[in-house]
């Protein structure tokens, strides 16, 4: 069964730095700006988060008791243009979706675009992988199959 | 528990995802779901209750049985939660980057 892919979730931001600096701020300085208290596995118990460089690098949160939670793993490391990583904070790795953040020069400095995908069955097929398509990403894909039309994109591109 | 948390909790279970999978193909009664899944009928009923509370399924009475189908509400809740999650994250990045000295990152 072919599942229509719901629209990816897209968000943009504009920063004054050039793309190279914006890329570095986004990754190397993640701990300084990420809203850890509300957007983390440990919430109030989260103490830090690190974005490891390069393909295979992880995004790792550390909690007050010293335990860690991996949010995802880098799939594409292409500074200063883009970084793509799996995304599964608080869920199993095999239930990951994917996030890509791209940095392009703009009159203001840099346009940052974040795209969250993986809502549906991959073209390479869940069948070959067993049960790849699990989790809410998969379920959203299933929902699109209902024929209710598209899920309302709140950030048109 | 916030509405989106109910959805996330509901989706955290493999059997419940299997049920949604089945219902995405076609609506089904409890007995039909139990036939297709390696779980008992009472267990299916319990899972359906959680999915119902999360707004992910709804049912229509057909004679003496309830036929379950997917419901949009829970999915919309999840979508909008994710949307605000990333909005908040990018807003935080934007304000962090833009409050740095203007010299930073200039060519």
Q: What is the pLDDT of residues B8-40, one digit of tens each?
A: 788 878 889 889 888 888 899 999 999 999 999
Q: What is the pLDDT of residues A139-152, one digit of tens each?
A: 455 444 433 333 33
CA distance A56 to chain B (A): 23
Q: What is the pLDDT of residues A58-105, one digit of tens each?
A: 999 999 999 999 999 999 999 999 999 998 887 777 767 789 999 999
Do residues A112 and A12 touch, judged by C-beta distance below 8 A?
Answer: yes
Residue A119: the pLDDT is: 53
Residue by residue, DSSP assigns A45-80 as GEEEEEE--STT-EEEEEETTS-EEEEEEEEEEETT
Q: Indicate yes or no: pTM above 0.90.
A: no
Q: How far apart are CA A63 and CA B27, in angstroms?
A: 43
Please name which of A106, A116, A71, A48 lies closest in space to residue B90, comparing C-alpha atoms.
A116
Q: How far apart are CA A61 and CA A125, in angstroms?
A: 31
Residues of A in contact with B82 (CB under 8 A): 9, 116
- Provide the ipTM: 0.74
Judged by CB atoms closer than 8 Å, whether chains meet at B80 and A33 is answered as no
Q: Which two three-digit tokens encode residue A51?
A: 């974005």
């Amino acid at each position: 069964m072919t599942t229509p892919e719901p629209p990816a979730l897209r968000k943009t931001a504009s920063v004054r730095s050039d793309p190279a600096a914006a890329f570095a701020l986004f990754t190397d300085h993640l701990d300084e700006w990420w809203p850890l208290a509300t957007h983390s596995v440990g919430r109030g118990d989260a103490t830090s988060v690190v974005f490891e460089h390069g393909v295979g690098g992880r995004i790792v949160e550390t909690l007050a008791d010293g335990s860690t939670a991996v949010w995802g793993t880098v799939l594409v490391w292409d500074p200063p243009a883009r970084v793509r990583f799996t995304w599964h904070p608080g869920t199993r790795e095999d239930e990951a979706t994917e996030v890509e953040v791209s940095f392009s020069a703009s009159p203001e400095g840099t346009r940052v675009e974040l795209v969250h995908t993986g809502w549906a069955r991959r073209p390479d097929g869940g069948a070959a992988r067993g049960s790849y398509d699990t989790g809410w990403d998969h379920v959203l894909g299933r929902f699109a199959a209902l024929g209710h039309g598209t899920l309302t994109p709140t950030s048109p591109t | 528990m916030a509405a989106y948390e109910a959805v996330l909790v509901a989706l955290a279970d493999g059997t419940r995802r299997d049920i949604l999978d089945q219902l995405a193909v076609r609506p089904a009664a409890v007995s039909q779901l139990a036939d297709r899944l390696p779980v008992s009928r009472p267990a299916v009923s319990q899972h359906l209750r959680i999915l119902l509370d999360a707004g992910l399924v709804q049912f229509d009475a057909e004679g003496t049985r309830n036929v379950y189908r997917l419901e949009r509400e829970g999915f919309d809740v999840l979508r909008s939660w994710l949307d605000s999650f990333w909005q908040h994250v990018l807003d935080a990045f934007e304000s962090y980057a833009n409050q740095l000295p203007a010299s930073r990152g200039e060519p």
